[in-house]
Amino acid sequence: MASSDITLSPISKTKSSFYRRLLVAQLIDAGVNTVPAIVQETGMPRRTAQDTILALQELDIQCVFQGANKDGAYAILDWGPINKKWLKTQLEEIKAALNYPC
């Protein structure tokens, strides 16, 4: 499927949820690892960012909060079954499908 195919047709709620989780995990791994930073980077609502971080465990992505509440950040400890190389090659298409500016 060409990247233009993804952006032209709407995606299902299941696929958008999956893509959102992948994007948030990638952002955390790249250092955009706090809820305010994710909100700023993507434009998604705060609650959506929080819920998405919590939902990473459903994909067997191990994400933990490290540090104190005010000074801490999230970290990906294990990607589970997700192939990071594939994700990096698909990142632009995922962002386009979600209509996120990052």
CATH of residue 67's domain is 1.10.10.10
Other C-beta atoms closer than 10 Å to the C-beta of 35 total: 18
pLDDT tens-digit profile, the chain (102 residues): 444 444 446 889 999 999 999 999 999 999 999 999 999 999 999 999 999 999 999 999 999 999 988 889 999 999 999 999 999 999 999 999 998 876
Within a domain: 1: no
Within a domain: 23: yes
Entry pTM: 0.87
- Into how many domains does the chain fold? 1
Residue 24 is part of which domain span?
Answer: 12-98
First to last CA, the chain: 22
Within a domain: 87: yes
